[in-house]
Amino acid sequence: MKTKLIIAFLTCLIIFDNCSVIGQSSEILSKKYYKKASFNNFNSAISNPDKARQIKIKKEINSFPENLSILVNLEYLEIIISDNFDLKSLFNELSKLNNLKVLIIKSNLTNNLPENIGKLKFLKHLGLCCNNINTLPNNIGELYNLETLLFYNSKLTYLPESFIKLSNLKYVDFHNCKFSKFPIQLTSLTKIQEIYLQNNSITEIPKEITNLINLRWLDLTANQIKILPDDFFGMNCLTWPLFDKNLLTNELSNKVTKMRSDNQKYYGKNNCK
C-alpha cells in the first residue's frame, strides 16, 4: 500500500520564532508546480512576469508591490510576513491571479484573517501555520477548490459552519491548536483522506466520523480521548488511526492497534482506493 502523505507537501521547514515544524516542507509541492524559474523576491519576479511561476521568499516582508497582479502565470507563492502586513490588500491582488494554486503564509499574526480570503477561489493548497489566530472567517467556505488546508500551531478553537462547503478537501492539519471538541464539520467532507489533530484537548470523537469513507490517516495523538464510537472499528480503510498519549483503556488501545494492523494488511481487499 502506498500511503500518500500529501500533507507533508506544505509542512514548514523553517523555525519561525518559537514555532519549530518538522517535515519535508513545501519542497515536494514546489517541485510539482515548478516550471522554469523560482524567484526569491517580488521585484525580480515582476521584472520577468512571463517566467514567474513560483515565488519563495525566505525573509520576513512588510509589504508587497502594487503591480503584483501582472504575475498572471504565478502558481506558487510562499512568504513570511510581519505582524503589520496588509493581508486584505494582498488577498485582493492575489484574487486576480487565476493560476495561483498554492499559497503558504508563515507569520505571528495576532489579528484574524480578513473576510476577502474567500476571493482566492482558485487555490488548491493553503498553508497558514504558526500564528495566534483563533477563528476563521465564515467565507472560508468559498474556497471550493481547496484540497489541502494547514493551520497548525495556532489558537483555533472551532471551525465556522461554512467549512462544510469545502467539499474537495482531502488533507487538513490542525495540530497544536486549541480544539476541545472534534471539529464536527470535518465529518461532512467525505473526500478527506488525512486529518491531523494531535496536541489539542479533544475528549471524544463523534459517531459521524464513520461518514469519512476515504479517511486513511487520523492522528489524534496527545489529546484527552477516553472512549471511541462503537462503529469506529468498522472503518476498514483507516490504516493509520493514531491515539497515543490519550486516556484510552488498555482494551481500547489494543483494539486500535489491531485495527491498524488488520487494515494495513487487508487494505487492497477492503476496496480502498
Instruction: Give the mean model confidence (pLDDT) for residues 236-251.
Output: 96
pLDDT of 8 reads 42
pTM of the model: 0.89
Length of the chain (residues): 273
pLDDT(18) > 90: no
pLDDT(17) > 50: no
pLDDT(34) > 70: no
pLDDT of 88 reads 92
Categorise residue 183: left if φ over 0, alpha if ψ from -120 to 50, beta otherwise: beta
pLDDT(46) > 50: yes
Q: Are 26 and 10 in contact (CB under 8 A)?
A: yes
Stated as kind and residue range, the H or E segment containing 257 is helix 250-265
pLDDT in tens, 172-206: 999 999 999 999 999 999 999 999 999 999 999 99
DSSP code, position 154: S
Q: Worst-scoring range by mean pLDDT, 24-28, 67-71, 117-121?
A: 24-28
Radius of gyration of the chain (CA): 19
pLDDT interval class at 150 (50, 70, 90): very high
pLDDT of 33 reads 54
Q: Which residues pair with 128 in a beta bridge?
A: 105
Categorise residue 222: left if φ over 0, alpha if ψ from -120 to 50, beta otherwise: left
Residues of the chain with pLDDT > 90, as a percent, come to: 75
Q: Other CB atoms closer than 10 Å to residue 35's CB: what's the count?
A: 12
pLDDT(15) > 80: no
C-alpha grid cell, residue 170: 482531502
Q: Other CB atoms closer than 10 Å to residue 161's CB: what's the count?
A: 11
pLDDT(273) > 80: no
What domains, with CATH codes, occur in the chain? 6-270 (3.80.10.10)
CA distance 257 to 253: 6
